[in-house]
């Protein structure tokens, strides 16, 4: 890929990310939520009561970020935390009735945001987008294994360093 194509692709992804987050923030604000909190509510709505560390993994967030979000959502009455019976150091997080109602509102908002985001695209493209975006995310995920292309370059670089000794 040449620089012009790489630049166009990287700029498009960056702008989409920034604008999507800003639009989500604008839609979440009237509900009293900040970006990231909706993902936590939706994850709890999907899974039911969950250990806080598992929430961190599911959301792809660092544990301190999830701790901060859970504290704020707990203070506003949308979730409750309790010690896990098997490990008193761990907390189980669950939605309150207020949190369940808020999660339902977030689901509606999320549908509206998704529809707004893909307006004008053919149905086939919309259907393919989640898989494409998951692949792109996996390709740049710093938490998981590196793509084969990067591993190959790392092996070549290591081989050259070793031979140069």
Structural domains of the chain ordered from first start: 3-131 (1.10.10.10)
Q: Please determine, for residue 85, whether its predicted confidence score (pLDDT) is greater than 90.
A: no
* Mean pLDDT across 38-48: 96
The confidence score (pLDDT) of residue 87 equals 83
pLDDT tens readout for residues 113-157: 999 999 999 999 999 999 999 999 899 887 655 545 554 444 444
The confidence score (pLDDT) of residue 159 equals 45
* Mean pLDDT across 1-26: 95
The confidence score (pLDDT) of residue 8 equals 96
Tell me the percentage of the chain whose pLDDT exceeds 70. Answer: 86
* Mean pLDDT across 49-72: 92
Q: Which of 160, 138, 163, 139 is nearest to 149 (CA)?
A: 139
The confidence score (pLDDT) of residue 86 equals 83
């Amino acid at each position: 890929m040449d620089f012009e194509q790489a630049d166009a692709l990287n700029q498009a992804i960056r702008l989409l990310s920034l604008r999507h987050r800003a639009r989500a923030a604008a839609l979440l604000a009237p509900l009293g939520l900040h970006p990231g909190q909706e993902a936590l509510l939706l994850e709890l709505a999907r899974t039911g009561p969950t250990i806080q560390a598992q929430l961190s993994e599911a959301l792809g967030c660092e544990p301190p970020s999830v701790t901060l979000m859970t504290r704020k959502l707990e203070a506003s009455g949308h979730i409750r935390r309790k010690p896990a019976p098997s490990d008193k150091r761990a907390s189980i997080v669950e939605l309150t009735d207020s949190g369940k109602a808020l999660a339902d509102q977030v689901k509606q908002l999320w549908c509206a945001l998704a529809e707004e985001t893909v307006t004008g695209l053919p149905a086939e493209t919309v259907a393919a987008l989640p898989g494409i975006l998951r692949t792109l995310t996996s390709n740049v995920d710093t938490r998981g294994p590196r793509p084969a292309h990067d591993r190959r370059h790392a092996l070549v670089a290591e081989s050259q360093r070793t031979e140069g000794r």
